[in-house]
Chains A and B, each alone.
Chain A
């Protein structure tokens, strides 16, 4: 045996053969992770309890005697399982996430800390009202900011998400029309460029949906709209700024025409981020608009919710707003719900959710709003618009930008797949961007632009990051235009290659079945 007295070890890497597959399927830091059903067991637990005291069972003979099939993991195993899974996700914390219309901005950690204060996080929704005045004050303060920033008359805080907010607004319109004896107004006009939730919401509330024609410049065609208004029209649902990233310059005229014809104006406020602090929707004649707190006011998206969608109302719709809401009477905050509505709010269309809404999102949004203040929020709009225009003008020589000639965009820039060679499409550019380390933009939406690519950088990106993104975006777009077949099979470096969605839908596997159970089922 020789002792390595000098402590020698190899310190100079050598170039050589490319490696084959690994035995584990892992690739260094890129780790495969099985399902909990494959690694856990029903006896394992990561939680310790005190011994249950002896006591009488009152379970009415309903004891759950059959196995449930819930595997457990010890704490170290559980932490590792979820940490490994987390690393297979792209996130704002990792890089630019330019999903148009989704507003993926930085989520400040102060918001998280404030939402976790025990006075908010460990507070029961049915705590006697005198013992949760601070919570009502949060709701009241946030409501004040939302009403003031939008120049509207009131706000319903309880809707749970954007689409739920749309429903809230549309139901208020229905209730207002019904109260006036205008049951015959059953048509809501919705542009083709709208989010899919708009027509789905309108249909749910019993409206029929008709299309509003657009101009060549991607805006609502005012004259065509005016021509369609009449005694059967309940109103319009318009997104402003719209889903092409453009402001509707005729918004005031649209509102006036709709009002003159006896209808109401719903504004999808998903894109409020672009105008907060610079434009008040109330000045544009809007009757109802939802605000996605998870977009404009930075509450985290969490992989697909929870959201929060308060709805601001004009004076005309305020009496119909849903229950419950918080009111200040003298020094006290009171909760107006079924019980007290009779006196204060007799025309309300009713309750949309149990309890009072997304309190955890309210604390985060208020924290964010107080941090930015009126001046900072104005800067938010300006920087989000500046960043989007910077991308628009840095890309328009490579990709077709259908509305670039008509002027600047708002907070998002839109491109089409025009000019890509046969066999190449928007999806290839999106998947190519994944390999470059960026989350792709929104693709194939809105429907009015062929092969749409909707890029929303948000205001929380630095110029350096935008420059890196533009460089990568140009590189990938050039590859597509040059017919580089390698991007047809991108991504090559992500945890998974392109996934078979057709297979998933044809033979849906929505829950795990243990191999023996799966076999038995066949």
Chain B
């Protein structure tokens, strides 16, 4: 077996050193009844690299890869071009096959990456500090809600209807067990997000308001007034960003007064990967840092006075605090954070701004083209690279029919909100720098045909 170095001779010599007659002697603590006498039944035996590659490749070919067709899906996962060097960097064995940096003297590579990542994320989201990453955007969002509860000692969170429905669903699941009270609502086809409704609902029990920016329909709106309304009642404003590329073009939530900004970093460097692994972003103001969940890297000095980095403030964490920890989280998503950080480093501010502009202008042009079609209405005129169309018929069968023609037309709201028939005609379309004018034309013609 190619991954097992021991030879039969080695095994015999080692058993002799140990003083055991056979390998079974090492499993004496396992009760007789629980011991299997051979390989588990009903499963195949080992296979060559070539055979496994054939098997997996056949499965991969059954999928419609984004790069092979005109592609317009978004809603929390975005397709951007990732520079070749990013994948090279994350495949360096010293990054790929390292563990959590518990021995900082021999983990400065990972630690410095974490420190750079924290700084990049904090600046991108417009906050003082950021952690070294969370599992993904949806779990980061829930952690932010529980953090707001700890900070404010209040139990009611108001979630915008524009928040990704999976994120809402995760929060609902967790709140069932923790006793947090969540106020949720469905989005509507209005050109603006539900900011005014949210402001109306804030009261003295409110720990936080959670808004997505751009929201699930792609809409953007200034959140300054909402931030003020939250702060007037001593509640926190949590902003959720699922498309960080947008922040190369539009103001950061931190600049507009958000106290905690969380997000999904997937769109920079990580790739689609059918939903995971992704990288959760978590940033906040400096005064809240000790209530923050997740790993944090901090600067310090070594015994010779040289600058170095260590994991820090771990007294918040489970391995020290056990049942009193701020969170049970043990892992972050460091390799994905490295991918995101390397992509941001390659872009730099100038590159990120150009990328964002290219996304926005392409999306704007696509929206104009699609809105010309009979039976298509553009829901909002304020968006970044994703917008919602209201079709003259149910969107889900349209998406299915277009997929059969080799066009991935967007995400139907019927898929995201199966229980809301009033949203069934909605189609969310994302356009990035990877979308060509030809792709848009192909979609437009197919949509014309489907709606005729």
Cβ contact within 8 Å between A373 and B44: yes
Evaluate contact between B110 and A89: CB separation under 8 angstroms.
yes
Which of B11, B338, B367 touches A303 (beta carbons < 8 Å)?
A: B338
Assuming A128-B399, A389-B20, A496-B104, is B302 touching A117 (CB within 8 A)?
A: no
Q: Are A379 and B47 in contact (CB under 8 A)?
A: no
Contact of A424 with B by CB under 8 A: no
Alpha-carbon gap, A134 to B274, bound state (A): 11
Q: Determine, out of B181-189, B197-205, B227-235, B289-297, the stretch whose residues face the partner at the interface.
A: B289-297
Cα distance A6–B343 in the bound complex, in angstroms: 52
Contact A59-B250, Cβ < 8 Å, known A44-B348, A279-B34 = yes
User: Do A124 and B73 touch across chains, with their CB atoms under 8 A apart?
Assistant: yes
Pick from A35, A280, A497: contact of B303, CB under 8 Å: A497
CB of A315 within 8 A of chain B? no
Contact with A along B337-361 (1 / 0, CB 8 A): 0100010111111111111011011
Asked if A393 and B276 make an inter-chain contact with CB atoms under 8 angstroms apart, the answer reads no
Most B CB contacts (10 A, CB to CB) among A57, A79, A504 go to A504
A38→B400 CA distance, assembly (Å):
50
A13 interface contact, C-beta 8 A: no
Are A304 and B331 CB-contacts (below 8 A) given A88-B112, A373-B43? yes
Cα A495 to Cα B115 with chains together (Å): 17
Residue pair A124, B382 in contact (C-beta under 8 Å): no
CB pair B328–A209 under 8 Å, yes or no, is no
Taking CB atoms, residues of chain A closer than 8 Å to B93 are: 91-94
Contact of A306 among B17, B336, B345 (CB under 8 A): B336
Contact A200 B170 (CB under 8 A): no
- Per-position contact with B for A296-329: 1 when CB-CB < 8 Å, else 0? 0010111111111000000000000010000000
Looking at the assembled complex, report how far the CB atom of B224 sits from the nearest CB atom of chain A, in whole angstroms: 10
Nearest B residue to A292 via CB reads B331
Output the least CB separation between A17 and chain B (Å).
Answer: 21
Decide: A200 and B323 in contact? CB cutoff 8 A.
Answer: yes
Residues of B within 8 A of A19 (CB): none
CB pair B63–A110 under 8 Å, yes or no, is no
Is residue B196 contacting chain A, with contact meaning CB distance below 8 A? Answer: no
Q: Name the residue of chain B whose CB is nearest to the CB of A381.
A: B27
CB of B226, distance to nearest CB on chain A (Å) = 14
Q: How far is the CA of A358 from the CA of B333 in the complex (A)?
A: 11
Known contacts A122-B67, A249-B29, A386-B26: does B4 contact A459 (CB below 8 Å)?
yes
Contact A78 B57 (CB under 8 A): no
Asked whether, in the complex, the Cβ of B97 is within 8 Å of the Cβ of A40, the reply is no
- Name which residue of chain B comes closest to A442, CB basis: B102
Question: A304 contacts B100, CB within 8 Å?
Answer: yes
Q: Known contacts A357-B275, A363-B56, A385-B23: does B2 contact A371 (CB below 8 Å)?
A: yes
Give the Cβ gap from B151 to chain A, nearest Cβ, in Å: 17
Q: Which stretch (A96-104, A222-230, A258-266, A477-485) binds chain B?
A: A96-104
Q: Which residues of B contact A119 (CB under 8 A)?
A: 57, 59-63, 65
Q: 1/0 per residue A53-85: CB within 8 Å of B? A: 111111111111011111111010011011101
Residue of B5, B120, B133 near A462 (CB, 8 A) is B5
Minimum CB–CB distance for B176 against chain A, Å: 7
Is A122's CB under 8 angstroms from B79's CB? yes
B153 at the interface (CB under 8 A from A): no
Judging by beta carbons under 8 Å apart, are B352 and A63 in contact?
Answer: no
Q: In whole angstroms, what is the CA distance A380 to B367 when docked?
A: 55
The chain B residue sitting closest to A70, CB to CB, is: B349
In the assembled complex, which residues on chain A have CB atoms less than 8 Å from the CB atom of B130? 510-511
Q: Compute how far the CA of A119 lies from the CA of B133 in the bound complex, rounded to whole angstroms.
A: 27
- Bitwise interface map of B from 287 to 309 toward A, beta carbon under 8 Å scored 1, else 0: 00100000111111111101011
Question: Most chain-A Cβ atoms within 10 A of its Cβ — which of B27, B328, B354?
Answer: B328
Question: By the criterion CB–CB under 8 Å, are A371 and B52 in contact?
Answer: yes
B45–A374 contact, CB under 8 A?
A: yes
Q: How far is the CB of A155 from chain B (nearest CB, A)?
A: 15
Chain B contacts with A in 34-52, Cβ cutoff 8 A: 34-36, 38-47, 49, 51-52
Task: Tell whether, in the assembled complex, residue A206 and residue B310 are in contact, meaning their CB atoms are under 8 Å apart.
Answer: no
Smallest Cβ-Cβ distance to A369: which chain B residue: B43
A474 contacts chain B at the CB level, 8 A cutoff: no
Contacts of B433 in A (CB 8 A): 49-50
| Bound Cα distance from A431 to B116, whole angstroms | 26
Give every chain A residue within 8 A of B129 (Cβ-Cβ): 510-511
The residue of chain A having its C-beta at the shortest distance from the C-beta of B299 within the complex is A509
Closest A residue to B1 by CB, please name it.
Answer: A376
Which residues of A are found within 8 Å of B76, using beta-carbon distances? 125, 354-355
Q: Smallest CB–CB gap between A173 and chain B, Å?
A: 11
What residues of B have a CB within 8 angstroms of the CB of A440 in the complex?
103
In the complex formed, the residue of A with least CB distance to B66 is: A122
> B349: shortest Cβ distance to chain A, in Å?
4
**Which one of B65, B109, B361 contacts A88 once the chains associate, using CB atoms below 8 Å?**
B109
Restricting to B51-95, which residues have a CB under 8 Å from any CB of A?
A: 51-53, 55-68, 71, 73, 75-77, 79, 83, 85, 87-95
Q: Is the CB of B109 within 8 A of A89?
A: yes
Q: Return B127 CB to nearest CB of chain A, in Å.
A: 9
How many Å lie between the Cα of A195 and that of B254 in the bound state?
A: 36
Interface string of A114-138 (1 = CB under 8 A from B): 1111111111111110111111011
Question: Which listed residue, A72, A372, A496, touches B1 by the CB 8 Å rule?
Answer: A372
Binds A, one of B154-162, B311-319, B441-449: B311-319
Could you mark each residue 257-280 of chain A with 1 if its beta carbon is under 8 Å from any beta carbon of chain B, else 0?
000000000000000000101111
- B97 and A72 within 8 A (CB): no
User: Could you name 23 residue pairs across A and B whose Cβ atoms are closer than 8 Å?
Assistant: A52-B361, A86-B94, A93-B96, A106-B97, A124-B408, A126-B75, A126-B77, A148-B43, A279-B36, A305-B334, A339-B418, A352-B170, A353-B138, A358-B276, A359-B275, A367-B56, A374-B45, A385-B26, A407-B28, A431-B105, A496-B108, A505-B315, A511-B122
Report, nearest first, the 7 A-B pairs whose CB atoms are least far apart: A72-B348, A302-B335, A355-B275, A119-B60, A134-B62, A93-B93, A350-B173
